Amino acid sequence: MGKQKLFIFILLQLLSVVAYSQHGIDPHWFSAPIAVPKFNPNASATGAVANNMVVTANGTVIIFYKENGINYYIGSSDNGQSWNAPSPTLFTPATKTGNNNSSIGADIDLNGNIHTIWTSSAKNAVYYSRWIASSQIWSDTIRISGAVRYNVNYCHITRDMKNRLHAVWMDGQEMSTQYAEIMYSRSMDGGLNWSTPIRISTDDNRHSAFPMPDFSGSASDTLCIAWRDSVSTANGWDIMMSYTFNGGQTWSVPGFVYSNSGNQYDPGIVVDKNGIFHIAFHDSPGNYLSVNVKYGYSTNHGLSWNITQFSQPNIRSRLVKSAYDYQNNVVWFFWKDERDYVPPFDYRADIIGAPVTNGGITIGNAEFISDGGTVEYGFHNFKVGSDGIARAHFNTFYTDNTPSTIYYTQQTTMNTSIIRKTSEIPDKITLYQNYPNPFNPTTKIDFSIPKQGFVSIKIYNMLGKEVATLVSREMTPGAYSLDFNASKLSSGVYFYKMEVNGFSEVKKMMFVK
């Protein structure tokens, strides 16, 4: 009897582990990531640390990547279903800078021109080229780094809402005596000319590494760049930042964002359309299970921060990336979730993300965008198009003579449209019963708000699981009507919940196919 009880106990423990590991993919994302084809099917394909994906105005996704160390790019105009816009194409601008180039960093401007940046160890410099939308050709390759003290091996580029370009890179090699510092240059004319590079980190014989700013939603001259810095021997890596009030012409003396025991790594920072700074990074205070992702926001250009743990407790979580949804003012942060990690060397990892709204006050539910089982995904990157859809790609790693592969996924879309019914301002917040109800497959949901606010309307199933987001954006006062098409859902009872300005209400509806 004792052996039977022991067997049952062990079985239950194993089942709980399996259930915990098989988390599935959130219904807001493709049910399975799509393998991105390669120029050479037998080559290993990898992404980048810096942002290397752009989304054009018509929704075409272009990814810059490497095959066996050579730079290529590839595009899809049909949400990743096919990859011929273009098919795998050699990135010719990098062929002019030697055979040992870094991955490509990329961003797209408001006129549809694509701006790329990379480093060359052969030339020991940072280079730039742009895809000119009007002529459909690549510009000349130009050097933007000026004199280099040690060597360059990482770079990143971002565009702001004034169409200015901002480039950052590391001069030096972390974990060596060639102390890395953060360098910066900007272009005010679409990449034709670049300012003389300046150092924005402190030259103190301590390393500064991996800045990843995202200014894509900001039209302000107040911007911020953050990085990890080995400024403190006792605390290891800390998070430092510098801000500018003049669009990058000059930068402040670096200051702390977060300093604690252990190490903090690789912050992603977003400046939103209202000038709020959003930052996320991973914190490693102790053993491998304690590695976690933290999020913070600042409303006073980084003088003070509201910082909280972002990731689930006791789940190894690290390597944060960001994306900004300008249309809906939503900040996304994504990271590697290593709950399936088997120490010391079996680095199983999936990609998970969470949206931040209301200027940092509201953190949405985390969403798994992959479920690779025993696979480790990494080199993840993200971009949100003007349609408000978040896109992502990540790659496997070379294992057991199996070449690495890049996978693509994106948010699914519910067919939803919103119209303003009248110019009159209502006197109270109201959420109306949908009609018709029951419905198949479309129904209307009317609501009204007397004051401007961030409106959230979400659909939940009978288990309380969120299955669709219909509204998630700032809205002006008015009476609205929303058309919801539930054709992608199963028949059953659902609940829709509206939240705005402290108001919250839930109503029930029935979908019958």
pLDDT tens string 76-107: 999 999 999 999 999 999 999 988 899 999 99
What mean pLDDT value characterizes the chain?
90
DSSP state of 403: P
Distance CA 408, CA 56 (A): 16
Asked if 74 and 65 touch (Cβ cutoff 8 Å), the reply is: yes
User: Which residue, 303, 320, 326, 332, is CA-closest to 222?
Assistant: 303
Q: Which two tokens stand for residue 108?
A: 């797209």
- pLDDT score of 6: 46
The continuous run of DSSP H or E covering 17 comes out as: helix 2-21
Distance CA 285, CA 236 (A): 10
Which homologous superfamily is 415-511 in? Answer: Macroglobulin (MG2) domain (2.60.40.1930)
The amino acid at 126: V
Distance CA 384, CA 332 (A): 9
Q: Which two tokens stand for residue 105?
A: 């960093």
- pLDDT score of 490: 87
Q: Is the per-residue pLDDT at 418 higher than 90?
A: no
Residue 364 pLDDT class (50, 70, 90 cuts): confident
> Could you read off the pLDDT of 432-463 as tens digits, one per residue?
999 999 999 999 999 999 998 888 899 999 99
> Could you read off the pLDDT of 314-326 as tens digits, one per residue?
899 999 999 999 9
DSSP state of 252: P
What is the layout of strands, in order, in the sheet containing 181-187?
152-159, 165-171, 181-187, 198-199
| List of residues 6+ apart from 249 with CB closer than 8 A | 186, 195
Q: Is the per-residue pLDDT at 19 higher than 50?
A: no
> Could you read off the pLDDT of 459-503 as tens digits, one per residue?
999 998 888 888 877 788 999 999 888 887 889 999 999 999 899
Roughly how many angstroms between the first and final C-alpha of the chain, as a whole number?
A: 51
Distance CA 317, CA 307 (A): 16
Residue 116 pLDDT class (50, 70, 90 cuts): very high
Q: Is the per-residue pLDDT at 18 higher than 80?
A: no
Extended strands (E) in 216-329: 223-232, 236-244, 255-258, 263-271, 277-284, 292-298, 306-309, 317-325
Residue 25 pLDDT class (50, 70, 90 cuts): confident
Give the pTM: 0.82
- pLDDT score of 233: 63
Number of Cβ within a 10 Å radius of residue 361: 10
Angle (nearest 5°) at CA 506 between 488 and 325: 60
The continuous run of DSSP H or E covering 10 comes out as: helix 2-21
Give Rg (Cα) of the chain.
24
Q: Which two tokens stand for residue 454?
A: 């961030």
Q: Is the per-residue pLDDT at 344 higher than 90?
A: no
| List of residues 6+ apart from 121 with CB closer than 8 A | 98, 100, 101, 102, 151, 153
| List of residues 6+ apart from 240 with CB closer than 8 A | 201, 208, 226, 227, 228, 229, 231, 254, 255, 256, 257
Asked if 127 and 118 touch (Cβ cutoff 8 Å), the reply is: yes
Distance CA 431, CA 154 (A): 50
The continuous run of DSSP H or E covering 16 comes out as: helix 2-21
Q: Is the per-residue pLDDT at 356 higher than 90?
A: yes
Number of Cβ within a 10 Å radius of residue 12: 10
Q: Is the per-residue pLDDT at 9 higher than 50?
A: no
Q: Which two tokens stand for residue 371?
A: 């479920």
> Could you read off the pLDDT of 58-78 as tens digits, one per residue?
999 999 999 999 999 999 999
Residue 199 pLDDT class (50, 70, 90 cuts): very high
User: Which residue, 442, 499, 409, 290, is CA-closest to 27?
Assistant: 409
Residue 2 pLDDT class (50, 70, 90 cuts): low
Q: Which two tokens stand for residue 303?
A: 């003088």
Domain range summary for the chain, segments of one domain joined by +? 91-199, 415-511
> Could you read off the pLDDT of 253-307 as tens digits, one per residue?
999 999 888 899 999 999 999 999 999 999 998 777 789 999 999 999 999 999 9
Residue 158 pLDDT class (50, 70, 90 cuts): very high
User: Which residue, 58, 57, 59, 60, is CA-closest to 74?
Assistant: 60
What φ, ψ does residue 236 adopt, rounded to 5°?
Answer: 70, -135
User: Which residue, 416, 271, 382, 244, is CA-closest to 329?
Assistant: 271
Residue 400 pLDDT class (50, 70, 90 cuts): confident
Q: 27 vs 298, which has greater pLDDT?
A: 298
Residues 162-190: what's their mean pLDDT? 95
- pLDDT score of 14: 36
Distance CA 419, CA 479 (A): 9
Angle (nearest 5°) at CA 236 between 233 and 237: 130
